[in-house]
Structure 1
């Protein structure tokens, strides 16, 4: 059989689950689910519940969102029995996770806004906790993902809302299977769905194999009770990925069975903080473990990690503000502590703390060291090991120290394995790229200087004499190159960039060049810089920071260790911070370490929030800093080994479809160093897996995908002749592949439509037809029940459509030209405007508006200089009219509606349901409320897209 029907897939899965120990049960509708829930609850708790007692429990359970219900699931549920006694019951056993009742049902029907029938449901103690959605082979997995979103939207809240207790979803088409956490639909992304693997990171994609491993009752219950984190800050559930699970299990097993050390090698960007938190959290529950101490090597990471840990579990830890506080915490009752290695070293090396610390010498303390490739190779490590004789040490690193990249100090060459023992689990960069957890790198090597009028080839070695590399002429050429290419690299500043340079002299020089160019009006970029102006007291006394005795000249990436800068450099830095203060109305300086530390933190936040376009750094931010919005690293610094991988990895965090890779622009010869680093931390054959192919290879791939497109629709007009949804879906998939490739290619300096197999004219034409299909199949504002279309489940990836260089102002300039154009050119210029309106996703929402202006207003404007002013008045009038129409059609309080729209624009958060209900002059019946809220929400979005987005600073 070439295509496995969904029913056969479902039947086979259920048979397999029964074989694994699930009880097969027939549940047709909610009343059956409730009856079964009562029976299973009684069985699990060994009690008998009356109908009145059950009703109390159901009412108690039916409140809160998915996050709050996840907390309820993990707590005991109160009720009052017939004798008036206060009792509680347990919904799931979290400590003995195998001691729960496991059932499987299929085709449960729930009626909410629409009738929905769910494929396969896993019930634990009668509660539906796992939903499995199946599609036949050959269909995109995202179709199952989108269908679950519809279920949640339309029927999960029905009745007593028991389906809102679902913790995990599983989606499969038989050959590909993924899992993910429940949560708010609007926050859910297909990028947060995960494949399961074995312990060696080999994918388990086949449904039958996945069921055997992941759906085993004990394992599934363990994942739900032990490996889902309730993030208090985001109010979201987070499930661990397989490599995180295996790492935690390995550490737990090591602690329970031996006193040996170990380390986890998980590549940068793979979520080591979540992994280490979960390991620490579980370790604190082991009675033999006295304390768990999570150790970082920088003050900023101390605060940052404490913040992240507390987001995973509110109030789980306090960060240690000073050594005295740390001593109190170590001597106190708190089992989980986060601190810096410097403060930890102080507690055992300062004589006045030793009395308080003496009782800990032989205690079973587990130390978890973050980024253990740094600061672990000298005196401090020995001090900790010698003082805490009963301790057990574990390290986390994305780039271990091997013999090949080890520095030399008074203890000789020391590797990560020499200090921590064997790796307990590995997940290297090639694994992460294969799984889609981090992006690949697109690396360009730029020639930057001439000799006797001949450009020297970047591949020539040993051209790094300071007089050449720090030449003002060369530095100016680099700044010019960055300014010419920055918008291209960052998708018109949708993303941000870092520029790492060799030393503070270079940072000063480059900052001044960018500032001078800005004063000349050559750019409008927000540039900031930060570098160490003095080593702090702890670092000066910590010998571990001098890892690379002979590598300072190479600009190795290690956190700043000094030496002190001259007074001149500090004054320069203060001048730059003054510029920053003026730009952001702040008050930072280098006058004391607190203000400088606050400056550091503020820069970190502003880079993450895209408020800084380019951050110039020497060593800071090149390790341990995560920003999904950063996609480009400019490099004028010699890097190698773990320093190179760490620096490059600032750019490769997953964000959206537009961010297809991390851009690395090298102004130095790092080709050999890059290949060597990849070979060291992956393998010698991994270069092609980690680095994006050259432009020529993408061009060849585009030719292949374009041929597939024109085989379906030879011309743009042929899209109109597609006979059915299957043909339309084939076009959508084919053109989507073309868009993805062009999105990547646009970030290369060689990009030019003139040399591509598809012309820009045809690309825009296909894009218009693509958008027509998208809009025809959405019907977002319709209150009627839509017929299901196979196009509904396709991901159109509209992020790839927007043309950053075209906006309302650009269209207005075309309208001005149209107004003053000769009569014989008006038709052609009007067509240009219409084509642009049709081909851009943001401008299409304004098409009707601009068309109306062109027909009703433009012909009567006699002076081209008046076009902007007349258009502004026109927009204001139309905006007020549209607001009044929406208020009248939906019977809404116009002032409250305007307030909601203002809040949405300010916070960029979806309007709350209660706020929308608050605008209604006539409250609808309960059964009609959800439909009306949904309709009004989409009308608000449509209003903003039409009358606000793109008009900032105009009307």
Structure 2
């Protein structure tokens, strides 16, 4: 049964929906003419000669918006063409799109802002959408499905895929990744992309193709393409992305680009509206940790500062950590804000406020101590307070409110508001003007559902290592002053008085026992997954002891200690002090999979604000509760994905993991003073994963295990090939298996798994057979995770699995060999297709074999879709082999190589005269340009010579174009077989 193409099912509908929301559709032919299409230029050069803009429209809008800009678009386009084709050039273009470029006004002898888009009066802009946006840079060609333009400038591209394709969205993103690699010129101006199959709708920004930064556009009408286009592609939404919600930031000395997600933009809009509300002066934004709260605060500050209604305001960004303060200043500076001050002291902050400074001030919360009352009484003072739950107690809040009596106070918190007196105070201070107690919320459950953060699972250490219940309860959990504890310093003061508790935790024999357990657990459970870990000691002395103990069980380079140093420290503590440069290097190295250390031993530093997605496990040996506990364990909930070649996923972090050596999680309701719904969303017992694994192995696995009746002989393989011929059935199996595999990876090694090992190994072997049979060479993810891979090696060896993957050599004997080979025809079809693909890959300079491999893949697709029978598919492939043998014979008779013969046959098929002579000329042209694959100049000259060699024999431009395009298209695809 024929399947609908991606244009019919997706592309045409997107264009229709875009027109309905006021984008003007420009047909492809008209778009090409407006880009400088010249019908007299050979087709091989047309895409290369096209402009990347609608030049005439851009010229007209620049003249309209900038009447004093004498040079107009001619000079502007020349300037644009010299912008770097990388993320730095893209950042420069964003500045242009935000009207922060300049031009020189000769009449007034001064610089003026260059306006490209009218954000104040959006109706003054021209909004257009077109399709099949083609470009060729002389080496690679790209054709984008749907492109949206504002004033002739492409800003958004949509890649459309057919929903019937496996992993359609992932393939669409991979295609956009390839566009970046091969034609980066397109992504100087293009800022946003989406990939859709009419069901899913993933979006991101150009120059950031990391999977964790590609998001699903959320809409109440789940699965409805029209609703998602109406939301994401709405003109006000696209303008908002361009003007406000694309950000650049440096991390580890590298430039990164991000787009704010819906919960972030929603919070920015809500906080700006509240700040400009004359009637209300309070608001609380509760966004779970790891959901981008820092960028939300930065964009709120920028929006308020630039708002006309704010009338030159003072915006205070109140930070609670030195390291975050430094990062905040860097990110704000990257926004190009000229009026930015760092109040690094109490005196400096007082002076700025007293002198009525207008702009953004970055400072720390404790700088408000002893501030005079009424130091600034303006109402357009906006105070944005990070981790707001820490400012409501003691005198800091009083000094803050008294010093700025008419200011608007906007609190931001990353942890749920607790039910203690501190939590009620937070609601009272910041949430008093909202019925729900907060202005905007993004819960832990929402964050996990969106993939912004990962679920957390915990496991208790063996009983003999846990703190005795009565000691933990008496000296920590039952203390009134420990309720709602908000920061590490406050926690440390409480623990200083817990003498028995600390003595137990730091006992030398116990330290040795825990260190050995940690080392073995890390080696067996965490290191095979590829991730890293924290060991959290109760204090600095405990950290030092753990370092010496761990070094007995692990190589010394595996671990490093990071804690705050003091001049009064003992010799043992000073021996582990780090200078700032060394500490920065350790932090940076820890964030990389392939570098040491693998375990950081910490007690206060890095437990808040440190973001290392490779961190998977936390060995918790410090009593913590409420906000401090949440902030600490949130270090391990950051998503991480490692990509291999061609965007394939090699690693996907499943969740965060906490191994509790204290016993805190045994008293979870007491340790976390939050609503039960929030607690349930925060952490779950690892035992639940065991229950889930057992359930899947007992209910889902038997359906697949029943397919193996003969201990995996060739007939079992034939059964698998036929059973999973249906793509939907395969897709369901792959999904089920990957879920089971991930559970196994997390739980293993564990005695619980012993009864399931044989069945799991068989299931993995089934997956291996089906995967090898039906997936292309470029896969969306790798076959097996590490622990499973070791098991499968043994299991497959015991079964002697064969059949799929037994490739045959492509030669004169292939046909007879295939006919006489044991096994079913379905297996023969699969093996023959893969053999042809491999042969073409090994002879990638032969266009005939590349085309033959593509025809073989089409046969396999028809076979999978049951458009042809198994016998018909095998017959078609055998005929391909016969044709290839006939081709080889004729080619040998003429002493042609593969390239020359392919050109010769193409010329004959299109009835072009003197085919043999012309094909020899073309062969010589290739020989004269040996560097054509790596040199754009050589490729352009080669295409020109090939085109004119054929053109000399015919005036039929279409026929010439067809031959040249097919030849170079096949050769280009050879690199991606």
Return the TM-score normalized by structure 2. 0.66
3-state SS of 2:618 partner: strand
Assess if the C-alpha contact under 8 Å between 2:147 and 2:154 holds in 1.
yes
| Corresponding residue for residue 612 of structure 2 | 627
Find the aligned partners of 1:523 and 1:761 in 2 and give their Cα distance.
33
| Corresponding residue for residue 495 of structure 1 | 531
| Corresponding residue for residue 329 of structure 2 | 306
Of the three residues 692, 696, 701, the one matched with 1:701 is 696
| Corresponding residue for residue 745 of structure 1 | 744
Instruction: Structure 1 unaligned segments of length 5 or more: list them.
Output: 408-412, 535-564, 578-587, 589-594, 779-791, 812-827, 840-915, 943-955
Q: Deviations over 1:501-529 (max 9, x none)?
A: 334454344344334x25xxx55553333
| Corresponding residue for residue 402 of structure 1 | 418
| Corresponding residue for residue 228 of structure 1 | 246
| Corresponding residue for residue 123 of structure 1 | 149
3-state SS of 1:624 partner: coil
| Corresponding residue for residue 61 of structure 1 | 80
Does residue 658 of structure 2 align to residue 658 of structure 1?
Answer: no
3-state SS of 1:208 partner: helix
Assess if the C-alpha contact under 8 Å between 1:406 and 1:414 holds in 2.
yes
Find the aligned partners of 1:211 and 1:76 in 2 and give their Cα distance.
29
Does residue 54 of structure 2 align to residue 37 of structure 1?
Answer: yes
Aligned pairs for 1:631-642 within 5 A: 631-642=616-627
Taking a change above 3 Å as real, the CA distance of residues 4 and 328 of structure 1, as seen in their structure-2 partners, is: farther
| Corresponding residue for residue 174 of structure 1 | 198
| Corresponding residue for residue 196 of structure 1 | 217
3-state SS of 2:653 partner: coil
Does residue 453 of structure 2 align to residue 438 of structure 1?
Answer: yes
Find the aligned partners of 1:134 and 1:484 in 2 and give their Cα distance.
48
Does residue 759 of structure 2 align to residue 755 of structure 1?
Answer: no
Assess if the C-alpha contact under 8 Å between 1:716 and 1:765 holds in 2.
no
| Corresponding residue for residue 550 of structure 2 | 514
Does residue 363 of structure 2 align to residue 345 of structure 1?
Answer: no
Taking a change above 3 Å as real, the CA distance of residues 66 and 529 of structure 1, as seen in their structure-2 partners, is: closer
Find the aligned partners of 1:927 and 1:334 in 2 and give their Cα distance.
59
Of the three residues 231, 241, 257, the one matched with 2:277 is 257
| Corresponding residue for residue 29 of structure 2 | 28
What is the deviation of 1:760?
A: 7.2
Assess if the C-alpha contact under 8 Å between 2:9 and 2:198 holds in 1.
no
| Corresponding residue for residue 897 of structure 1 | none
| Corresponding residue for residue 815 of structure 1 | none
Find the aligned partners of 1:74 and 1:503 in 2 and give their Cα distance.
49
Of the three residues 555, 558, 569, the one matched with 1:526 is 558
Find the aligned partners of 2:732 and 2:795 in 1 and give their Cα distance.
32
3-state SS of 1:104 partner: strand
Does residue 200 of structure 2 align to residue 148 of structure 1?
Answer: no
Find the aligned partners of 1:716 and 1:492 in 2 and give their Cα distance.
31
Larger Rg: 2
Taking a change above 3 Å as real, the CA distance of residues 573 and 688 of structure 1, as seen in their structure-2 partners, is: closer
What is the deviation of 1:750?
A: 4.9
Taking a change above 3 Å as real, the CA distance of residues 332 and 461 of structure 1, as seen in their structure-2 partners, is: closer
| Corresponding residue for residue 854 of structure 1 | none
Larger deviation, residues 646-655 vs 189-198? 189-198
Q: Deviations over 1:890-935 (max 9, x none)?
A: xxxxxxxxxxxxxxxxxxxxxxxxxx99998997334779x99x99
3-state SS of 1:621 partner: coil
Does residue 462 of structure 2 align to residue 447 of structure 1?
Answer: yes
Q: Deviations over 1:365-409 (max 9, x none)?
A: 2221112222442211211211122322212111144333638xx
Aligned pairs for 1:305-704 within 5 A: 305-311=328-334, 317=340, 319-326=342-349, 331=355, 335-345=359-369, 348=371, 358=375, 360-362=376-378, 364-404=380-420, 406=422, 414-419=425-430, 421=432, 422-449=437-464, 466=501, 469-492=505-528, 494-515=530-551, 517-518=552-553, 523-524=555-556, 526-532=558-564, 570-577=570-577, 588=578, 601=584, 603-609=586-592, 611-656=596-641, 657-671=651-665, 673-675=667-669, 680=674, 683=677, 686-687=680-681, 693-702=688-697
Find the aligned partners of 1:370 and 1:736 in 2 and give their Cα distance.
40
Of the three residues 275, 289, 295, the one matched with 2:318 is 295
3-state SS of 1:28 partner: helix
Taking a change above 3 Å as real, the CA distance of residues 924 and 325 of structure 1, as seen in their structure-2 partners, is: farther
Larger deviation, residues 649-658 vs 222-231? 222-231
Q: Deviations over 1:110-145 (max 9, x none)?
A: 456666543332221122211222333454322322
Q: Deviations over 1:284-307 (max 9, x none)?
A: 112424222211123233223323
Does residue 24 of structure 2 align to residue 10 of structure 1?
Answer: no
Assess if the C-alpha contact under 8 Å between 1:320 and 1:326 holds in 2.
yes
Instruction: Structure 2 unaligned segments of length 5 or more: list them.
Output: 37-52, 477-499, 642-650, 806-929, 944-966
Taking a change above 3 Å as real, the CA distance of residues 719 and 474 of structure 1, as seen in their structure-2 partners, is: same
Q: Number of matched residues?
A: 748
Find the aligned partners of 1:632 and 1:735 in 2 and give their Cα distance.
27
Does residue 131 of structure 2 align to residue 106 of structure 1?
Answer: yes
What is the deviation of 1:252?
A: 0.8
Find the aligned partners of 1:58 and 1:290 in 2 and give their Cα distance.
37
Taking a change above 3 Å as real, the CA distance of residues 366 and 688 of structure 1, as seen in their structure-2 partners, is: closer
Larger deviation, residues 718-727 vs 386-395? 718-727
What is the deviation of 1:737?
A: 4.7
Find the aligned partners of 1:102 and 1:93 in 2 and give their Cα distance.
12
3-state SS of 2:409 partner: strand
Find the aligned partners of 1:3 and 1:675 in 2 and give their Cα distance.
54
Assess if the C-alpha contact under 8 Å between 2:368 and 2:399 holds in 1.
no
What is the deviation of 1:702?
A: 4.7
Taking a change above 3 Å as real, the CA distance of residues 55 and 468 of structure 1, as seen in their structure-2 partners, is: closer
What is the deviation of 1:634?
A: 0.9
Assess if the C-alpha contact under 8 Å between 2:23 and 2:128 holds in 1.
yes
Assess if the C-alpha contact under 8 Å between 2:312 and 2:358 holds in 1.
no
What is the root-mean-square deviation of aligned Cα atoms in Å? 5.1
| Corresponding residue for residue 134 of structure 1 | 160
Find the aligned partners of 2:122 and 2:713 in 1 and give their Cα distance.
58
Find the aligned partners of 1:617 and 1:203 in 2 and give their Cα distance.
46
Assess if the C-alpha contact under 8 Å between 1:22 and 1:104 holds in 2.
yes
Assess if the C-alpha contact under 8 Å between 2:637 and 2:655 holds in 1.
yes
Taking a change above 3 Å as real, the CA distance of residues 308 and 599 of structure 1, as seen in their structure-2 partners, is: farther
Assess if the C-alpha contact under 8 Å between 1:529 and 1:615 holds in 2.
yes
What is the deviation of 1:654?
A: 0.7
